[in-house]
């Protein structure tokens, strides 16, 4: 599997708090929520690359799921 890219993202504290609450409500980390929203925006604009890997389902992995 290809290595994931890391970036530094500066956010207004109120925006970060809102994202964190939204992420918790959907059983995602804040990082996963940001990636989810970026992917949705790319998809809506027709800019999501066809070779982009899918995201893991929200929540804890089931016992029968193998880690990537």
Q: pTM of the full predicted structure? A: 0.75
Q: Which of the residue ranges 9-13, 22-26, 36-40, 62-66 would you say has the lowest mean pLDDT?
A: 62-66
Q: What is the pLDDT of residue 30?
A: 95
Non-local (6+) Cβ contacts of 30 within 8 A are 16, 19, 20, 23
The CA distance from 29 to 38, in Å, is: 14
Exposure of 4 by Cβ count < 10 A (0-12 exposed, 13-18 middle, 19+ buried)?
Answer: exposed
Q: What is the pLDDT of residue 57?
A: 73
Whether the predicted pLDDT of 59 surpasses 70: no
Buried b (16+ CB within 10 A) or exposed e, 34-50: bebeeeeeeeeeeeeee
């Amino acid at each position: 599997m290809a290595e994931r890219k890391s970036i530094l993202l500066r956010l207004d504290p109120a925006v970060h708090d809102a994202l964190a609450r939204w992420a918790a409500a959907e059983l995602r980390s804040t990082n996963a929520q940001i990636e989810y929203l970026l992917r949705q925006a790319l998809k809506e604009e027709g800019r999501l690359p066809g070779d982009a890997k899918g995201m893991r389902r929200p929540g804890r992995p089931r016992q029968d799921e193998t880690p990537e």
